[in-house]
Amino acid sequence: MEARRRAAPGTATNDGWAADGSEGPVPTGYGGDDEKDVYGKARVGYGTGRLGPPRQRAQPPPESFAEFIQQNVEHVPPILYTLLSIWTRCYKIGLANVVVWDEAHFGKFGSHYLKREFYFDVHPPLGKMLVGLAGLLAGYDGHFEFKSGDIYPDNIPYVTMRVMLAMFGIGMVPLAWYTARELHMSRRACHLVTLMVLLDVAWLCISRFILLDSMLLFFTFTTVFGLTKFHNQQYQSFSPEWWFWLAGTGLSIGAVCSVKWVGLFVTALVGFYTIEDLWNKFGDLHMPIRVYARHWVARIICLIVVPILFYMASFKIHFLILNHSGPGDAQMSSLFQANLEGNDFALNPLEVGYGSKVTLKNMGWGGGLLHSHVQTFPVGSNQQQVTCYHYKDENNQWTVLPAWGETPYDPNADDVDFLKDGDVVRLQHVPTKRNLHSHVVPAPVTSLNHEVSCYGNETMGDVNDHWIVQVVDDLHRGKKEHVGRIHSLTTRMRFRHKVLGCYLRAANAILPQWGFKQVEVSCDKEDNPNDDHTYWNVESHINPKLPIGEMKQYRSPFLRDFWHLNVAMMTSNNALVPDPDKEDILASKPLDWPWLHYGLRMCGWGDSQVKYYLLGNPVVWWGGTASLIASVGVLAVYLLRMQRRYNDFEPGEWEQFLYVGKIAFLGWVFQYLPFMIMGRVTYIHHYLPALWFSVLMAGHLIDHFVFSSKRLSERTKQIVFGICAGAVIGTFWWFRGLAFGVEGPIGDQKGLLWRKTWNIYD
């Protein structure tokens, strides 16, 4: 790389030191004491590579439309790009009149909001609430099942819903322009970055359906935009604009995390920037301690408290809307379910007696219902399986009976013996009549614990069927000392095996496919009184001899429900691991994404079907990946040249070069690398947020070496821009059918197999 100049001995260099090792003068523009606001950073202008836009003089009101256009000419390109984005995102958006890909999930979740039925999903609720809102505004009544591949009936406004959600994809395009401007890229670079966002086929395709991804991408873009706007307000700390963009960044963090948890990855970028910024301010000896403390408080409030409150508010609204019993009830606590309309738990008998038919809810975070079925363990004892199950099922029902050798339960007797602390009981599975049992056989997954199975029948069993009831406390009556009889919903208790002394436990260990991926139930040898996974409560309770309970007054606290649901989401998310017994033809590995090794079929591939293939624009993806690799080499060369006292940058340019490079490279690292260590199954659409940062890096490097170069002629810059823009536009046009929908036999589409691994034709 040719040097621009080499610093002479005794002259100032980028680091403020003379080339001969003596301390030189601070160069102009580097924020020396004579020119820097001691509470902020140097204020400098666009295109200079420094840290903030100049204050613009207020212009007089326009006297004509032409003058208005002249005053706002900088907004004309993003407006035009937005209009193009509306066309690309909405063109033929209703061509496929069937449920495409994950519309089967998120359309169904939107329906639950319209019917106000409680459901469970592994993602936070904001995106799905917005799907429900789109349905409400479109006139959808929530009664379509959204089965994959089903044809939408005429009364389902699926096109309107898709268009509404496509607005998030449309909004990505102007955000790309303004973010590039805030990063001080040249106009050509801004055009190139915006074109790459506008014309990437994968971003386009995934924005055209009833999915969460366009929302996730939009809020990722707003978070980066807010961060860059805030960065450019650093020269006027604590001004209204500074507060506005700091708080706006926090709100964007809350929004992106409330759509999908992968929003935490862009939050990590904001966190890294904030730590570095505060560290630099800590080194400013001119900044008073009280001002530095204010910076900390401002960031804690806006970047931690505000996002958390936003995230919690989305769950509060979620709970308020979904106040009817639905398919996701069993994931929540029994008290929470009792307060849902249509749920009869609160009407069940209050006090549990012998002969009661009950379901037992594990009270550990993410716990399910004690369950059994006719299938047996293929390992261990080969007896009937006992598991924990998260959905309502008749196989969750158990009858509370006396121990073997005690007076048998008489269903015809009028009196009822109530269940109390210390009672020895037998739990009989209602459908199969077998008894809950444990013995000295290792559990199939948690092998240090004893296996729990079902054994015997109504007349045959042994002492290994006996369990001692140990009360922990009662959520309504308080400590164990105040608890007499066992109450449904509120009494927390443990079941201790009488012979082995172990405790019935369900701790989210997942059984293999032979156990239907349900939660393992084992008998824990350790006596840990604080282990919530050994706590159980009676959820549903049927006993015709007892009066109804009327327990609507027992409210479930929001914070408890909020935490419980989040842990359940995390548990279920961690369970989404690849199944070695099944081949998932849609899945791919993170190493396949940067070079676009695979695409993803989003629907059926028959000749009569409209076909969509999730595949990125090769120029955008390959160019972005190449730029990320090149950025490492460029940084290394520049650092080596600096060590040799070569001066390749004007004052302030090096800091700006590093700043943009860190935003792009670290943003990509935070968005991409976590998937490398995840155990869960992954798909190509997981790379789409990381793609944004590779696009920024591509624009940054091309701008640095070409568009902003002082050594290249304008003609050369125009030629390079034309080649880059033409390549992006050309490849988009070549692959556009994969996003707009391919009608007829796929074999009629020629020239799409640029990589043999793309399963477009087979």
Least-confidence region, from 44-53, 256-265, 568-577, 590-599: 44-53
Q: List the one residue out of 494, 503, 497, 518 whose CA is nearest residue 387.
A: 518
Q: What is the mean pLDDT of the chain?
A: 89
pLDDT tens figures, 482-518:
898 999 989 999 999 999 999 999 987 889 989 998 9
Can you state the percent helix, strand and coil of the chain, rounding each to 5? Answer: 45, 15, 40
Q: Where are the alpha helices (DSSP H) in 211-369?
A: 213-231, 240-259, 263-282, 289-300, 306-321, 334-338
52 has pLDDT over 60: no
User: Do strands 369-376 and 450-455 pair parallel, antiparallel, or not at all (unpaired)?
Assistant: unpaired
Lowest mean pLDDT among 413-417, 422-426, 681-685, 691-695: 413-417
pLDDT band at residue 582 using 50, 70 and 90 as cut-offs: low
Q: What is the pLDDT of residue 339?
A: 87
Mean pLDDT over 418-431 rounds to: 96
pLDDT at 476: 83
Of 8-17, 74-83, 356-365, 712-721, least confident by mean pLDDT is 8-17
CA distances from 77 to 80, 195, 699, 718 (A): 5, 11, 17, 17
From residue 295, alpha-carbon distances to 6, 30, 36, 233, 284 in Å are 39, 22, 18, 13, 13
* Pick from 140-154, 212-226, 326-340: least confident: 326-340
Domain spans, the chain: 213-317, 337-561
pLDDT of residue 555: 80
Residue 580 pLDDT level (bands cut at 50, 70, 90): low
Least confident of 258-272, 479-493, 704-718: 479-493
**In degrees, to the nearest 5, what angle opens at C-alpha 129 toward C-alphas 603 and 85?**
60
Distance CA(603)–CA(208), nearest Å, equals: 14
Query: Residues 533-572: pLDDT tens digits?
Result: 999 999 999 999 998 876 655 788 899 999 999 988 988 8
Largest CA distance in the chain: 106
In this predicted structure, which of 150-159, 314-323, 337-346, 720-729 has the lowest mean pLDDT? 337-346
Mean pLDDT score, 586-601: 94
When pLDDT is cut at 50, 70 and 90, the band that residue 60 belongs to is: confident
Is pLDDT above 70 for 249? yes
pLDDT at position 57 is 61
In this predicted model, what pLDDT tens digit does every residue of 362-419 receive, in sequence order? 998 778 899 999 999 999 999 999 999 988 889 999 999 999 999 899 888 888 999 9
What's the pLDDT tens digit per position in 164-189?
Answer: 999 999 999 999 999 999 999 999 99
Residue range 288-314: mean pLDDT, rounded: 97
Q: Which helix (H) or strand (E) holds 519?
A: strand 519-524
Q: Which residues contact 431 (CB under 8 A, 6 or more apart)?
A: 394, 395, 397
Burial class (CB in 10 A: 0-12, 13-18, 19+), 56: exposed
Q: Which fold has domain 337-561?
A: Trefoil (Acidic Fibroblast Growth Factor, subunit A) (2.80.10)
Q: What is the reported pLDDT for 411?
A: 87
Residue 28 clears pLDDT 80, i.e. is over it: no
Q: Tokens representing 203?
A: 């971003």
pLDDT band at 347 (very low <50, low <70, confident <90, very high): confident
Average pLDDT, integer, range 40-48: 35
pLDDT at 16 over 60: no
Residue 17's pLDDT band (cuts 50, 70, 90): very low
The predicted structure's pLDDT at residue 275: 97
pLDDT range class, residue 112, cuts 50, 70, 90: very high
Q: Of all residues in the chain, what percent carry a pLDDT higher than 70? A: 91
What pLDDT, in 10s, does the model give residues 659-678? Answer: 999 999 999 999 999 999 98
Measured CA to CA, the distance from residue 649 to residue 655 in angstroms comes to: 9
Which among 41, 263, 77, 67 is positioned nearest to 181, based on CA atoms? 77
